[in-house]
Each structure stands twice: as structure tokens, then as C-alpha cells.
Amino acid sequence: MPVREPFGLSLPTFDIFRGHYQDKDATWIDAVKGLGNVRDRMRQIANENPGAYFVFSCHDRLGLDILVTTKRPATASDKSQAAGAA
């Protein structure tokens, strides 16, 4: 007989995907229990491998969080500010 958790103690599971939430070719990365836990895990993954990530709730069929950690290219003003600081 399966063991059941007491009512209200089970955390929902959320999925982490790499890519844009509207892309059909987004890649599933991980499933994590609890919204706070999944956000922490998504940040950890993004720190290790920068890119675009999102959290999806299969239960609600909603995207819940988006994190993009790609570096933007340096602009001319960034370069002139760096030169002026030297």
C-alpha cells in the first residue's frame, strides 16, 4: 500500500526548461518540488550555463518565472567609460 503524505504537506512539482517559453524547441532540464526551490534551482543552472530559462507548472499549464542570463555585448559607451576610469 503506498504511503500518502498528510493533506497540505505535499509541494507541487514545477519543470525548468531552457529556451524561450514560446519556443516549441525549448529543452526540459529538471523537475523540482516547491516554487521557491525551483527558482533557486533555475538560478543555479543559469549560473553554471548562462542562457534563457523558464519555469512551467504542468498542473496550472502556466509559465511562472523567466530568467535570462546571457551577457549583452559591450557598447561604445561602456568602452569609453572603462577607458576614462583607467
| DSSP assignment of 3-59 | --PPTT-PPPEEEEEES-TT-TT-EEEEEEESHHHHHHHHHHHHHHS-SEEEEEETT
The 10s digit of each residue's pLDDT in 10-63 is 788 999 999 988 888 999 999 999 988 999 999 999 999 999 999 998 887 778
Q: What is the pLDDT of residue 14?
A: 93
Does residue 7 surpass a pLDDT of 80? no
List the one residue out of 54, 64, 60 whose CA is nearest residue 29: 54
Most confident of the following: 4-8, 42-46, 68-72: 42-46
- Tell me the whole-structure pTM to 2 decimals: 0.67
pLDDT of residue 69: 86
